[in-house]
Structure 1
Amino acid sequence: MARTKEFEVNEVLDKAIQLFWMQGYEKTSMQDLVDFMGIHRRSIYDTFGDKHVLYMKALQRYESTQYKKMRFLVEKQEPVRELIRQFLESSMRKEGEPQGCFIVNSGVELGVLDPEVASLVENSYSKTEKLLYDLVQTGQQRGELRASLEPQAISHYLMNAWLGLRTMVKTATDQGKLTSIIHTILNTLD
């Protein structure tokens, strides 16, 4: 007789996200996962396969959740400059979350070593950059952003700035510095 799962898959994936996000892939052992997720080692293997498959599923879940949040943000009917500010501020440290961004951390740790991770990270960056491109075009169509701005170049710039903030937040203790950087980024749109 088959055993029924004693856990909800998305709940344990969320725990795996937290642990991988805090420690990274290489520093996280299977025993760490067993202890942190609160399920048996056999259950991890039966449900997810190996550590790498679990990592990829956690990364995919995180990416999907983050993309939905960003998509919701850019679909709000607010001035585009305000939406870009909110987008950049989403990089700021949040209570109860590990520092930085799980996608960015994964790209830095494994991007050159693991083609599957590199592909997921690159795809995530491309989707985010497309959202920024659409925001810039919308801002220009509404007359909220200068028509002389090149949407492609500005979306590249905003993406790079956002990634920089998501990396910098891991070590920055001065939130005022991050706020000042965001203000400077926004001034390039004037």
Structure 2
Amino acid sequence: MPRVKEFDVDEVLLKAVRLFWEQGYEKTSINALVEHLGIHRRSLYDTFGDKHQLFLQAIERYNEYLSGQFHSGITRADSTRQAVRFLFDFMIEGYDDKPPGCLLVNMAVEVAPWDQEVDMKTLESFDKVEKLLVELIQRGQESGEFVTNRDASELAENMHNTMLGLRVLARTSANKEKLHRIADSAISLLDV
């Protein structure tokens, strides 16, 4: 008879997200995971597989979290411009009580160069954000809120690149006023 899990898998996965986010993949040992997650080593392996498989699942869970946050913020926005502003502010101000920066950006730098699966997952996530920006920009162009003589895809590429840079700067002691000025500059491209 199989044993019943004595822990909430999603709760444990969220703890893993946080630990990988704070420490990075390489610095996070199995012992650190077992201690931080509050489960036995055997339970970790039985439920999630090895460290790498747990990490891939943590990335998926993080993506789900981001998608939910983006959807919620965009849905509450009164205008397309406000929706775009929300995305930039979210990148700058952070994620509730989460570490600064972005797990995906960290992993794109630390792990993706040598791990094809992580590279694919980060690129897929980045692509989703860029497509979301394209949709928002096109909506703003159709409503007359944004300039129409610029290609929405090119604007989205530029804006997403700025967002990635902001996620990196958010991990440093950079002044948030500076980060908001950078965001303002990127958003102003929609008016040129």
Q: TM-score range by the shorter chain?
A: over 0.9
How far the C-alpha of 1:77 sits from its partner, in A, is 5.4
What secondary structure does 1:90 align onto?
helix
* Structure 2 alignment gaps of length 5 or more: none
The aligned counterpart of 1:134 is 135
Equivalenced residues, count: 190
How far, CA to CA, are the matches of 1:131 and 1:33 in structure 2? 34
Q: Distance in 1 between matches of 2:92 and 2:137?
A: 22
Tell me, in whole angstroms, the C-alpha distance in 2 between the residues paired with 1:153 and 1:2. Answer: 53
% identical aligned pairs: 40
1:32 corresponding residue in structure 2: 32
Partner of 1:74: 74
Residue ranges of structure 1 left out of the alignment (5+ in a row): none
Structure 1 residue 91 corresponds to structure 2 residue 91: yes
Which residue does 1:18 correspond to in 2? 18
Q: In 1, Cα distance between the equivalents of 2:132 and 2:187?
A: 16
Aligned partners of 2:74 and 2:86 also within 8 Å = no
In 2: Cα distance, 1:172 partner to 1:79 partner: 31
TM-score in terms of structure 1 length: 0.95
* Contact 1:104–1:166 under 8 Å retained in 2: yes
Whether the 8 Å contact between 1:71 and 1:131 is mirrored in structure 2 is: no
Q: Which amino acid aligns with 2:149?
A: S
TM-score norm. by structure 2 comes to: 0.94
Amino acid at match of 1:74: I
User: Secondary structure at the residue paired with 1:189?
Assistant: helix
* Secondary structure in structure 2 of the residue aligned to 1:92: helix
Match of 2:63 in 1: 63
Amino acid at match of 1:166: R
CA contact (8 A) 2:137 2:146 kept: yes
Q: Structure 1 runs of 4+ off > 6 angstroms?
A: none
Confirm whether residue 111 of structure 1 aligns to residue 149 of structure 2. no
For the aligned residues, what is the CA RMSD?
1.4
Partner of 2:149: 148
1:47 and 2:47 matched: yes
